[in-house]
Structure 1
Amino acid sequence: MSEQNLYENSEYQLKEYKQRRTNGQKPVEDGAAGTSIAKKKKVQQIIFGLLVLSLLFSLLCLIIGTVKNSMIYSEMKEQQHKLMMEISQFKSNDSAIYREMKELQDKLMMEISQLKSNVSEVQRAQSILASKLPKLKMNNHFWTPCPKNWARFNQSCYYFPSSSGNWHFAKQECSMLGSHLLVINNNAEQIFIKKLSVPKMYWIGLSDSAKERHWQWEDGTEYDSTPHFWASGEPNDAFNNEDCAHLDDKGQWNDINCSTKLNWICEKNSV
């Protein structure tokens, strides 16, 4: 193409561009420049669309979050109201329980006070009774209670020591306790002693040491004035050396050497 034609073509294009600008139309871009501009516009449109979508998504998340928060707040508010009601009810119940406990405490204190008063009266009565107890009249006789660990039968007290010794030692031990070796005066007393003694053997307060075959009770009771409960064939004074009586393992009387070591039974009157 000649320089003149190139010039004319440029002039024509410039004139057409001016005319399009005058008519409010965008100039037509040619070649690679037009394509680049179109791509840029397309990228801008895509970016703008993504921004719009991102904004819409964020707005949607905000709306959902607001709704959820509103629901949670409403639920928490309801729970708070319910809790406040329960606390109020608890306070009311606690107050009622406190009043009830206070009433019970006052009642208990009154009962304790009354009990103390009753105990004091019982102690006074016990003191009065204790002062009169040593001598109480029974069947026209005054009697004293048996000491601790002594057994009572009718008007006598009986003691069964766990130690053992010969007849004379047993006699001395009973005397130190203000008593004497057992004296059996009747069948009822024999039955009572037998129940407590069997199957052990015990010294009784009966001997013929002073005079052979002349048996004597320790308390001075006449031997022939009371029933006898000798075992069969007794007393036999075996080897001429059996002068003291004891209860055998069946509760019957037997004579034996006075130096034999046995348990013994002490007796004293309670009248």
Structure 2
Amino acid sequence: MARQNNYQNTVAFEADETSLKRLSHKRTLSILTSLALLAFLLAISLIAMAILYFQKERKLEELEEVVEKIRASLWLSNVRSKEALDNVHFLENISTAFSEIQARLEKANASRTAAQGRYRNLLGLVSTGWKFYDGNFYYFTQVAKSWQDAEKACRSYGAHLSSITSRQEMQYLQREASGQTFWIGLTDQQEEGNWTWLDGSKYNQRVSFWAQGQPDNWYGAPGHQEDCVHLAGQWNDVSCTYSYKGICKKVSP
């Protein structure tokens, strides 16, 4: 009986030990399975994180590219704006220069027109017998008239009976007169002894060319007055009613 009990106990112990081993093996498998699952999940998580990281990096790169494009666009816009402003300024300068050139051309055209008109006037004067000397034109009339009528004739030409204000002018008129007698524009009709030129030139006693003993206001003249002057080699005061040719003078146009 004792052996049988011992054998039964031993069998029961062995059975328990086997059960424990099986249980332990199951637990080990369960733990290993759990660890494998955790490892798998961790790997999945790492892969997912890696994918998200790379996606994030790509998004950042794309964003940086967009930012760079925006910066480039803004830079080009600024450049173009500057170029546009430069072009506007350039066009404004061109417009100003063109206006100046146009004004100069108009001025030059006006000068040319004036010069053509002046040339026509000069040509007309010369062709009708006027003589040019030292910036003035002179016309020696061929019809003898009183001093007043000779002055009227000169005015009809836009001139006056000639003044003589320099020795050179006096010598020129003496040569052109060729010894003939001509009225000149000197008179003291307004006030005796106060000589004036009809064309407004200032009378200068020191630049005068009176013949010897003149002016004398000769008492034997008609009306006992000699208020007008003629050129007869030198100056001589005579009655304004006498008839002589006249020397007309006008400033060059």
Q: Tell me the TM-score normalized by structure 2.
A: 0.50
User: Which of the two has greater helix per residue?
Assistant: 2
Q: Tell me the TM-score normalized by structure 1.
A: 0.47
